[in-house]
Structure 1
């Protein structure tokens, strides 16, 4: 009871301790956590917890972003010309509920992803592999229960068998994504989730599971289980029946602390072991060199970030007057390429690198990590050029943008210093061009921003992408295709780009794929659907008594938090 009372106190944000207990990891962040249901997990805040509660069949080996090893599987075999994958599963694995994992749980988990698949979840890319389409049965009437059932089956030997309609060289990497975690089917069904049969599958097609019963009461095989959750904190404890090595960290407390200064103070006192740091500039100015702080620098950055300009804004309340009269914008304001080019020339890339990344940043040519195959360093880039920005704004909408002005309402993720700084740079430079230009920026909760932007309601947002699997397609298709996950956020469509991206998906010839991605990059430069935010060299900070965090073990694909490793591999001295 004494330990539980201490943990209860830790859940109260702002509580002061000389240091977080040795067996407890305390993490403070600005973002809220939209879901704890693997099927609905498609953001980094949720993924950072889900990957520690649940486990997948395979995972990335060490710090490698390409080499995979078994996790809940023990081995696999590929046959039928690369179209059939057969997995042997680990025995005597216990869920948090006490149920024993069986092949049926694995089959149920992946079938549930295929049944409920929607653009809001991370299941479109596994649906593409197993069904040949990223759509669900509501959007594609050729998808039947029989088709889903045939794609994922348990054979008489208790092995899990996947049958693909065509070869997908990225299939195994896709299976390492936390959204493909194995859930406790008996527990899920008891909570009122899909029964796992044809009888009720139609009722669950495309269903939003972000706030599912399984999110509220998860049961995974991972090293940590949920104890309690409220609006400001999440408490997890070690799973005593975990099949693997017992973790040294017994308790994990995730606290939502929107104010950066408050997070920093807790970190410097030792009340928090890890925090959302606010980016490089803040780390170097406020944390580096302070007692008890370790800064881990020069880490790989496999994310891409952009300012989205929505060409079909679906929320009249965000449009002001809804006209080009200086008091608002029309819903299709960004459909004029001159507006988009004006914005791209108005952003000061060098200033962002200086202010946010303390000079350790890079202006990429494409929304693709430069370490990935397919990246073309020769594609042209925009530079900060007020004269060019002015010239394009003067052309926009037949001269009416310059003549009448506009009022633009912009949102950024609450608590994100880099996002706020980027929007402030853009606001300052755009408004300096013409006294009739006004850009209003406001902080918005992460979950609300995600929901509103995917519904096409936000005129302009800044958002990034962390890879689901290590292939250029995961970035290029996501950002640039009109069938991609991010399309509803900016509604930009180019027929040539769509064609090139589909061609890149249909070949395993890397030289051909590289050429096609270069064409996409050049076309995107010409059309400016995004303002490309410079990519920083990743840096993080942790308390010096936290063991297991290093450049040697850091894997940007495995973990979504600040350590590049799972909690079970950490300890404190």
Structure 2
């Protein structure tokens, strides 16, 4: 306990460890951690910790993006009723961090809690869609009743967990592997003031934001690590002595918030940190690759998609300046003119971004979908950097008033992210070079604040990526392009054609038909320039060379958000 006390002291002081001990993993990141409540975990910074505190019924097998294996279940489920009923046997004698024993009731509570509190930002919309037939919660869809939620997931007399779907969903099992569908300690949650798990108070919790919930502050999962302490700058976790699985070699994990990339690099090269958030391929290649004590792992799969959003209904007056097209600001619907969006799309230098940020190891995709996924159409057109085209469309925008009067736009980027900053700098430089009346102010912003403000439509222009919840094209295409998709509040466009095609794609299992529909979506999105598609990098990671368990052979981007491609319990140091 003396070592734990020492780590806690360093944690509170915000100090770095002098050469990370053999039984301690030190990770440094630029971002803060929005939440530790699985019910609202829907960002990578939170997910990297939650997936090690909590566990799901099933998980991905090794490096496979499709094959699943049981985790808290003892085997994959029995599927009956024409593919609409899933029955799980659960592990016995599994302990939560409080010492409570996991039962079927905990699993039932966890999923019912997710259905009750479901919101567009919680990550539960896709499980609600499977179990209730709608992405909405009971506040937004009056057809949702307590009886409907209660029937969707139940424990039978044999102690098995039974899901009953209203219709077949071939992606349902994969959805259960997402960390937001982890099993929580129901007795503990109820005791600290969370939902009681009954019909009596369920309506009080419908759509409730769990980001700063009591369970966020006092998590209790079945995972290999338990929370010891957390403050604004660091989080300390310790291996759980009562863990049901193999005991991890790493006993302590320290996650430190270090916004300055130079400080992270120095700590990593000294051996004070085992893993750090890098600055993009060009920065990391120059500053990290080939240095003593570094293991560089390249050519890893990229299953994410990133875009620059152009919000067509900006809700924050502070970003609008004068609120008019008078050179001193922009109207809230500035990006509703397709000519503005096309002009910006032509003004971004994609090739320069690939060279400067990705060290030439990047690819400009045609759609916001990984090119390894079904449904991706390489024939869809893409925008290229073209000053003349950008100028032409700016001259057409808003009846010529954009070019005549100019504008001032404020765009935020994630604080500490070199890639995001460089992206905005490239766009700023190219747009301002077209007309002296054009002004783009760029500024860093904390990640948690950006998430909160962007989901309320307050950000004017930001870059955000999407990592898959499960391996199906719908998880990307509906997210980015549907008017009720997860990212809709950040872009605020509605396109009846896109909505029609995306819903049709959800209603068929015919692969060729789905692919045709997604091609239509891709072509329409290009024509309307709803997003600037950020080139996709070839993935890589780097760790200290004494850290074992990280390799291309077992790297799975659908399991871990913590740069290792695997859970902390699989790591060790030599």
The bucket for the TM-score relative to the shorter chain is over 0.9
Distance 1:6 1:361 in 2: 43
Residue matched to 1:22: 22
Distance 1:114 1:345 in 2: 42
Residue matched to 2:111: 110
Residue matched to 1:64: 64
Residue matched to 2:40: 40
Q: How does 1:519-558 map to 2 (within 5 A)?
A: 519-558=520-559
After TM superposition, give the deviation of residue 497 of structure 1 in Å. Answer: 0.5
Which digits, 9 at most, give the CA deviation of each residue in 1:156-183, with x for residues without a partner? 0000000000000000000000000000
Q: How does 1:143-292 map to 2 (within 5 A)?
A: 143-292=144-293
Do the aligned partners of 1:13 and 1:256 also contact (CA within 8 Å) in 2?
no
Would the alpha carbon gap of residues 17 and 205 (structure 1) be closer, same or farther in structure 2, given more than 3 Å must change?
Answer: closer
Do the aligned partners of 2:33 and 2:45 also contact (CA within 8 Å) in 1?
yes
After TM superposition, give the deviation of residue 14 of structure 1 in Å. Answer: 6.6
Query: Does the residue aligned with 2:199 lie in a helix, a strand or coil?
Result: coil
Which digits, 9 at most, give the CA deviation of each residue in 1:67-126, with x for residues without a partner? 000000012100000000000000100000000000000000000000000011000000
After TM superposition, give the deviation of residue 318 of structure 1 in Å. Answer: 1.2
Which digits, 9 at most, give the CA deviation of each residue in 1:114-161, with x for residues without a partner? 000001100000000000000000000010000000000000000000
Distance 1:452 1:18 in 2: 37
Q: Is 1:142 paired with 2:146?
A: no
Q: How does 1:346-361 map to 2 (within 5 A)?
A: 346-361=347-362
Do the aligned partners of 1:13 and 1:257 also contact (CA within 8 Å) in 2?
no
After TM superposition, give the deviation of residue 2 of structure 1 in Å. Answer: 2.7
Do the aligned partners of 1:327 and 1:407 also contact (CA within 8 Å) in 2?
yes
Distance 2:29 2:340 in 1: 35
Distance 1:404 1:13 in 2: 51
Query: Does the residue aligned with 1:89 lie in a helix, a strand or coil?
Result: coil
Unaligned runs of 5+ residues in structure 2 are none
Distance 1:120 1:301 in 2: 24
Unaligned runs of 5+ residues in structure 1 are none
Segments of 4+ moved more than 2 angstroms: 12-18
Aligned-CA RMSD value: 0.8
After TM superposition, give the deviation of residue 18 of structure 1 in Å. Answer: 4.4
Do the aligned partners of 2:8 and 2:229 also contact (CA within 8 Å) in 1?
no
Distance 2:299 2:24 in 1: 28
Query: Does the residue aligned with 2:142 lie in a helix, a strand or coil?
Result: coil
Q: Is 1:50 paired with 2:56?
A: no
Residue matched to 1:331: 332
Which digits, 9 at most, give the CA deviation of each residue in 1:251-289, with x for residues without a partner? 000000000000000000000000001111111000011
Distance 1:416 1:132 in 2: 38
Do the aligned partners of 1:233 and 1:256 also contact (CA within 8 Å) in 2?
yes
Distance 1:285 1:509 in 2: 47
Query: Does the residue aligned with 1:411 lie in a helix, a strand or coil?
Result: strand
After TM superposition, give the deviation of residue 16 of structure 1 in Å. Answer: 5.2
Distance 2:561 2:16 in 1: 27
Residue matched to 1:502: 503
Residue matched to 2:302: 301
